[in-house]
Amino acid sequence: MSVLTAERIKLTSVRSPAWCTALTAVFALGIAALFSLLINVSVNEYHKELASGHPTMSEPPYPANGIAALGITGASQGIPGFGYIMIMILAALAITSEYRFGTIKATFMAVPNRTVVLVTKAGLIAVAAAVLSAVLTFVCFFIFKAIVSDEGGQKLSLTHGDMHVFYAVPIFIALVVFLAVGVGALIRQSAGALTLLIVWPVLIEPIVGAFGKVGREIQVLLPFQNAGRFLGTAGGDELPWHWGPWGGLLYFLAIVALVFGAAIFVVNKRDA
Q: Which residues contact 36 (CB under 8 A, 6 or more apart)?
A: 143, 144, 146, 147, 148
What whole-number percentage of the chain has pLDDT above 90? 49
Categorise residue 59: left if φ over 0, alpha if ψ from -120 to 50, beta otherwise. beta
Q: What is the pLDDT of residues 16-35, one digit of tens each?
A: 788 888 999 999 999 999 99
Using the CB atoms, write b or e for 31-55: b if 16+ within 10 Å. Answer: bbbebbeebbebbeebeeeeeeeee
Query: pTM of the entire structure?
Result: 0.91
What integer pLDDT is reported at residue 78 of this predicted model? 66
The pLDDT assigned to 166 comes to 94
Question: Which residues lie below 8 Å from residue 148, measured CB to CB, with a gap of 6+?
Answer: 36, 39, 40, 63, 156
Q: Please write the tens of the pLDDT for every residue from 208-237.
A: 877 888 888 888 899 999 999 999 887 666
Q: What is the pLDDT of residues 132-160, one digit of tens each?
A: 999 999 999 999 999 998 888 888 888 88
Other beta carbons within 10 angstroms of residue 15's beta carbon come to: 7
Query: Which residue did the predictor score with more confidence, 11 or 245?
Result: 245
Chain-centre distance of CA 67, in angstroms? Answer: 14
